[in-house]
Structure 1
């Protein structure tokens, strides 16, 4: 009886004809909120990079990462302790270590590339570049994980990158002295995040999402802490490294709570109600939120060709998600 109840609660709350019923609305709402909060991270980071009166140096990316981690990781640590106590079959030390290495890849290396890239390009372009990571999922899946390329998938990816080409050739959001450096860093982030998703699937199936996420964050926390300490000691020391404007601390707290903790929980709940595929589709609200916030809050430009290119990219990614929908595994 308990098993049946658990399966019922975890199943997508949609009818066979796809109509939305009951708790599915909770999943849809939380999925949209999670996508928006995750995407607003770019705007918050750009706000932290804005010059402060009396401060000559820009806050380093690793410092922002340290603040984000310092405010959010204690909560993940509590969850790790709670989940570990309730895990009957403990993972082997080898699998724990590999999960932590995967976390270093996703939450340290990828974040460092992303935060550094945001020093050079607009928040809108960053989000648009990251939004194309499914293309690398297709490519790496076919190259290393036994996946296969489909005509629909290739066409959808080509359409998405055609939209990016339109933005690069005629858009206003690409105005930057270091456009190619910033774009290359963020694109590298997208590539590595796609690789992480393919690697992480085995660990999630083996130990469950909560335990894997917390172990991954533990690995990333270790790498970020060591990087921050070494960087601080090599420059002005730890004390001066924390001598930051108050608004940077507030932005670090906002990123930790609203662009890390809350969306991670909201997304897990949403996937339980409506499934991972529909949550991924709802992720299209994220770049839209970034565009609006970047224009209103940061004063970034957004012209006609930016709109055309962004729309083409959205359509391409939407077609990819539709073409990659898989049938549920039989048990």
Structure 2
């Protein structure tokens, strides 16, 4: 029963993540500003995650993370250069392109981590790593060109923001390790979201919007992106680790880009060529390959 619950939680969370990106694109089409959405999303989701920690887990950690100066500085850096960078670049890529391409480009982060660790000589490249890198490069080529070298099938700003999103996610993943060894992930991610949202508030305060002029569908989409696509998606993924191995959760979580692609193509009616489907398949295969090897990689690390 516990295992079934874990599988349900990780699949639900990953699907919410994937659909959340597509719903965000719908909000951008309805003239919602990307700065405002990222600010609002981070602040509300961050407070909700800390609320979950307060009522369900060790509440002393919520303030305890700020008691050590080194941890506090690391958390501030993680919130600004990790969380805020990941969220903003991802949403900007969606705004200029679509959720499918943005999500798939962000999922290049594991390959970037492999290359970074190899260059730093902290990990040796294996045949599986080389295959993963090859699949990522082939997948990106077909995804972004649809098989035509003469022109890109995706707007260049979306590609640039998407690649930056992958770099930000790679930093986010590596930099958070020391903090996550000491504190619950809900505390670290909750505070990181609040830090990122607060910083972006100086550029676009969340209250500077004509709420009365917004149609009902905008409110419904906002609720989905903030509650389901951010807060519940992350919470469910973390909860799934109580009954599943990290490798299993990571593997099942790879349904996220597939959910983003399907909803982008069939709900928003975004054009998606044959070779883009081939590229998508290559990137998803790369994700599965890395997820299946995650257990042995962790042991080697």
TM-score, normalization by structure 2: 0.86
Superposed CA RMSD in Å reads: 2.7
1:75 aligns with 2:44: no
1:226 aligns with 2:202: yes
1:287 aligns with 2:257: yes
Work out whether residues 100 and 217 of structure 1, in 8 Å CA contact, stay in contact via their aligned partners in 2.
no
Q: Measure how far apart 1:158 and its partner are.
A: 1.1
In 2: Cα distance, 1:36 partner to 1:47 partner: 17
Q: Measure how far apart 1:227 and its partner are.
A: 2.6
The aligned residue for residue 245 of structure 1 is 214
In 2: Cα distance, 1:130 partner to 1:286 partner: 11
Work out whether residues 13 and 237 of structure 2, in 8 Å CA contact, stay in contact via their aligned partners in 1.
yes
Tell me, which stretches of 5 or more residues in structure 1 are unaligned? 1-21, 52-57, 233-237
1:62 aligns with 2:35: yes
TM-score, normalization by structure 1: 0.79
Identify if the C-alpha distance between structure 1 residues 49 and 85 changes in structure 2 by more than 3 Å, giving closer, same or farther.
closer
The aligned residue for residue 81 of structure 2 is 105
SS in 2 for 1:206: coil
The aligned residue for residue 21 of structure 2 is 42
Q: Which moved more, 1:266-275 or 1:145-154?
A: 145-154
Give CA deviations for 1:96-125 in whole Å, capped at 9, x if unaligned. Answer: 231132022232122111111212212221
Identify if the C-alpha distance between structure 1 residues 164 and 97 changes in structure 2 by more than 3 Å, giving closer, same or farther.
same
Work out whether residues 203 and 212 of structure 1, in 8 Å CA contact, stay in contact via their aligned partners in 2.
yes
The aligned residue for residue 24 of structure 1 is 3
In 2: Cα distance, 1:311 partner to 1:214 partner: 33
Number of residue pairs the alignment of both structures matches: 293
Q: Measure how far apart 1:241 and its partner are.
A: 6.1
The aligned residue for residue 271 of structure 2 is 301
Q: Measure how far apart 1:279 and its partner are.
A: 1.0
1:175 aligns with 2:148: no
Work out whether residues 100 and 218 of structure 1, in 8 Å CA contact, stay in contact via their aligned partners in 2.
no
In 1: Cα distance, 2:97 partner to 2:267 partner: 16
SS in 2 for 1:228: coil
Tell me, which stretches of 5 or more residues in structure 2 are unaligned? none
Q: Measure how far apart 1:198 and its partner are.
A: 0.8
Identify if the C-alpha distance between structure 1 residues 311 and 296 changes in structure 2 by more than 3 Å, giving closer, same or farther.
same
In 2: Cα distance, 1:264 partner to 1:258 partner: 9
The aligned residue for residue 15 of structure 1 is none
1:255 aligns with 2:225: yes
Identify if the C-alpha distance between structure 1 residues 171 and 32 changes in structure 2 by more than 3 Å, giving closer, same or farther.
farther
Structure of higher CA gyration radius: 1
